[in-house]
Structure 1
């Protein structure tokens, strides 16, 4: 009798032995998914703020406040989706070492979920990443591996993944595919549900900057899927590849990388989908930072630089609407708290060292918000 035939002498015992490891793994996956779903139920529907600005006649402004997530940023949604994507595909299993390339916020959120699931986590980040983000990753039990050039994070993350036998979460590739853009309480569905009882329930514009490109992809796809009249504007920052790539329809464009953490990339990321974007604006870093300062003062709490980019883009579109005599609503996002950038964006010495003068744009924005005059003269 052959060895193969011997295995089937006792079919019940043999099948039990063969299936036990898979059953254990399936039980771990079920428990992990339940844990992630529980977090989603607790935190997914963040507040939609409606600040009032006297200069914006006929324009209703809304800010989707993603800074209230447990890990303090919009990236909390993305991290949860990336974990679900990896688990449901069978790539994240019990004990899997997780690796990510990040400018900080996504890694902080992923470190949080890795701790919930008792998985080791390594973040590959530029050395210039804010100390507050690094401290948050460490507080959740994650490790940080630093590179000197932002463009090196991809190859180093892939190398560490191979060395550890782990799984590369790869937010820049997987962001647009890990999120269900048709609904399932994604960021777009949440915004439109919360807008449903407002004076202008269908926004004229949603303004959202791009880091991975995943959020703008979700918003643009959802708008089209629901046949909405809303248009999507993506403001981009200095030294980012996205704006030039969109203008010239050239995905091979590269750049040096943004000083505004979390948005703007040295390459066109796979999750950036230019064809779902209706308009892009190229914004100076001084304008983004000034906008974060002005909005922080108006809200009574600090917001991050990507939020400043969003808010400057919102003001730009509001001015265009008022000049055209249009009334309606514009929505943008508060991506994270400005407390993460105390050593950079809110530090006069850092601004001076980087030759960033925010004063002219601060005056411009305050004049616009109070009197409706959008000019830097």
Structure 2
């Protein structure tokens, strides 16, 4: 007789946090012409990172450095912290799973916004913790007071917050995040997902204080650095937290080429600055599209913009119509946010193609 699955796994429904565009392309029988639904960077890799990948390709057969020493040294210098305050992992997705595993026993309470990043919820369920949510505010910002109140009432272990936010693109400045930290209940950690921090106003970001025991910060090379397919991110936390992660992390999970490319890109400030500027232009284009169609959009501090098409039904229609037109986009699927369609910033030709098809689809709505 074969071994039985764990009680946690047996109780879970079949699910995945995302249906990838490749799956949707197989369903539609042809590739998308415009791929603007996954918040990938349309602007490629740093030339320095590309040069490293080419020069090191013959050594792809080698295992990685399991300590990620060189990259952690560079990150430590970047933020004026110690190498021991940094852990590298398989993107923020992998690091969130590591965090839930490290801190949560089955049944422990975890708090987030309803409609926030679904991969975090996936990990919470997978490790048997108890997910509790509170809706976004009517203005589509995270309801930070409600999140803290919920964490206090339920004696939560973790409070997850993306800032800038996914899927809305909104941003909480330094004072708002400091207020959350001050109000956190004892023994509750703030997990601050800063995947899009490069696109936010630098002067209003919470300073990096690595030894703050209340906080773990997550950052990635997937967005501004264009390395979503290389799966590499990092977390900044107290030395005690990082040492605990070392007990359970997947030491060979981040490949050698990913580490080298990330290190090279980190040293290419000019490239990243160009990406940030190009994304800002693209956001302007999408906001202009919204104005042309006389619909609202959420001011964004990310590489995407969410456009309000009026209702959840109309949003579903838009995604379906664009899918049929060869355009991949996504939409949130929860109350308050369900009326939006989210558009990743593409290069100029992609934005032009999207603008034409989006306008046609919108005008054809029932």
Pick the TM interval, shorter chain: 0.3 to 0.5
- How does the TM-score come out when normalised to structure 2? 0.32
- How does the TM-score come out when normalised to structure 1? 0.32
Structure with higher helix content: 1
